[in-house]
């Protein structure tokens, strides 16, 4: 008889404990199971498919820092992520016409883009640099060396990399493609002498080249990466909260180490989030 009473009491105590744990005003719908999607809604995400370390489409899905950040945000929102390839030039359009709900794609926050879209974050700060053939046969040491008809430089249309090149090296001989991997291929074929964009993108391409390419390592801009959403979207402030929590509990650092950390030995501190208007 005593036993029969004791067990329900224990169960009751346990139930009260569980209820108390679940009562701490948790605004996210993450149930801690990782990957379950309570609402089943889809979050359409535009990301790069050809940028090692940040976003590469593989038979096992999209891998890299941007892809993992996007998955984490979708999880926290209780949604299922559906990736779609975005290139530099179509990111604003994709957000404006609803092709995607969110762009996580090495996407620099700047005032010009803010006229068309909103940004959560920043969640990383890159800097524009230059990649050359191993051994640096043309002796390129910085942006000034690209300001010449004798050096063929490749970058991508619709990027800040191209805008910066045009303003800082107006006499550069510029070739453009829609993706950076095409620039890397062009350098492999001897059609260009240099590729310029964010250092972390170049780091991934150089790493993939098996020693064929190297970085000049003389960055000349700040590129704060934001998460693009449609103008006026409530998602911006929600994502900022999710990012802040990921900074505070070490999730962001873990994602960085698991992706970019394969090549970069130092994990930076995450940048301060711009919460203006939230």
Footprint on this chain of ligand GLU (rule: CB under 6 A): 88, 105-108, 156, 159-161, 197-198, 201, 223
The smaller minimum CB distance to ligand GLU, of residues 89 and 245, is found at: 89
Contact 167, 180 (CB under 8 A): no
CB of 57 to ligand GLU, least distance (A): 15
Q: How would you list the strands of the sheet with 61-63, edge to edge? A: 50-51, 55-58, 61-63
CB of 238 to ligand GLU, least distance (A): 22
CB of 273 to ligand GLU, least distance (A): 18
The smaller minimum CB distance to ligand GLU, of residues 153 and 161, is found at: 161
Closest by Cα among 123, 135, 143, 153 to 242 = 123
**Exposure pattern of 7-25 as b/e (b: 16+ CB <10 Å)?**
eeeeeeeeeeeeeeeeeee
CB of 154 to ligand GLU, least distance (A): 13
CB of 24 to ligand GLU, least distance (A): 38
Burial grade of 265 (CB within 10 A; 0-12, 13-18, 19 or more): exposed
The smaller minimum CB distance to ligand GLU, of residues 88 and 238, is found at: 88
The smaller minimum CB distance to ligand GLU, of residues 75 and 198, is found at: 198
The smaller minimum CB distance to ligand GLU, of residues 30 and 185, is found at: 185
Q: How would you list the strands of the sheet with 152-156, edge to edge? A: 173-177, 152-156, 194-198, 128-133, 213-215
At residue 210, what are phi and psi to the nearest 5 degrees? 55, 45
């Amino acid at each position: 008889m005593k036993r029969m009473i004791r067990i329900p009491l224990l169960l009751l105590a346990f139930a009260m404990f569980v209820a108390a744990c679940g009562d701490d005003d948790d605004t996210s719908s993450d149930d801690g199971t990782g990957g379950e999607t309570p609402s089943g809604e889809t979050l359409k995400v535009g990301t790069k498919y050809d940028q090692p370390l940040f976003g590469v489409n593989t038979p096992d899905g999209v891998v890299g820092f941007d892809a993992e950040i996007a998955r984490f945000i979708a999880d926290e929102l209780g949604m299922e992520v559906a990736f779609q390839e975005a290139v530099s030039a179509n990111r604003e359009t994709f957000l404006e016409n609803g092709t995607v709900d969110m762009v996580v794609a090495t996407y620099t926050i700047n005032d010009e883009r803010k006229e068309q879209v909103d940004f959560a974050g920043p969640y990383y700060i890159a800097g524009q640099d230059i990649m050359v053939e191993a051994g640096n046969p043309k002796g390129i040491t910085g942006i000034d060396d690209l300001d010449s008809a004798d050096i063929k430089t490749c970058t991508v249309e619709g990027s800040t990399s191209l805008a910066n090149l045009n303003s800082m090296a107006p006499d550069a001989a510029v070739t453009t493609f829609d993706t950076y991997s095409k620039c890397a291929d062009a350098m492999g074929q001897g059609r260009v002498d240099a590729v310029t964009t964010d250092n972390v993108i170049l780091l991934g391409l150089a790493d993939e080249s098996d020693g064929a390419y190297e970085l000049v390592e003389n960055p000349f801009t700040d590129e704060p990466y934001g998460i693009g959403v449609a103008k006026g979207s409530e998602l911006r402030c929600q994502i900022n909260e999710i990012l802040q929590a990921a900074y505070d509990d070490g999730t962001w650092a873990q994602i960085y180490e698991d992706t970019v950390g394969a090549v970069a030995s130092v994990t930076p501190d995450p940048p301060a989030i711009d919460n203006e208007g939230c």
